[in-house]
Structure 1
Amino acid sequence: MTLVRSQKIMQSARGKPCTLRLVGICNFNPETTVAAHIGVRRGMGIKAGDNMVVYACSDCHAEIDRRGREAYAADKLRAMEETQESMIEQGLLAFS
């Protein structure tokens, strides 16, 4: 299986609001937002494809890295939907 790798997708998070917005953790600072991988099928040290990212502020990103793959599943799903909608609007994802 080929993993999607896209510098444009990874850079698209810059300046965007955090879509993860973990309660009590999010800093709501778009200057710290990055594209954070959230795939659960990969092993330690092997990231999911770049199509499996959410826009996460530095605090939310640190929290999901600290807590493990299964933590915050509902938040990650909601954030992925919002992130992919944003990427479609930016022309970074397309479906035929």
Structure 2
Amino acid sequence: MSDQEDQNSPDFDLGQATADLSLEDIIEFFNAKLKNHNCPACLENSWTDVRAADSIHGLIAQPLNGPVTVPAPMYPLVSVSCNNCGFIRSHMAAFVLSWKESNGKK
């Protein structure tokens, strides 16, 4: 495994690794880790990757009280949308990447 692939390496780029995840990787993660793959809103099980090729979805953390931090800490997400109702399901990218790595997936 190269330094770029090791999440503990200072050279690891979580944003790039997240962008490299495929919809197939995300669905395999769902199948392995989730007890229910259906949309919690409409109960369908059909998903589309909603990440744009040139951007990273993420949660930006800001304090509730006090000054805004710039740049703010960002936690990359993998996000999929239900093809039936549009519900968006997001999971921390680091969990999906860790699962993929621990299962020997490239």
Return the structure number with greater relative CO, CA threshold 8 A, min gap 6.
1
**Of the two, which has the highest radius of gyration?**
2
**Does the pair score TM above 0.5?**
no
More helix by share: 1
Q: Under TM normalisation by the shorter chain, which class is it?
A: 0.3 to 0.5
TM-score, normalised relative to structure 2: 0.35
More strand by share: 2
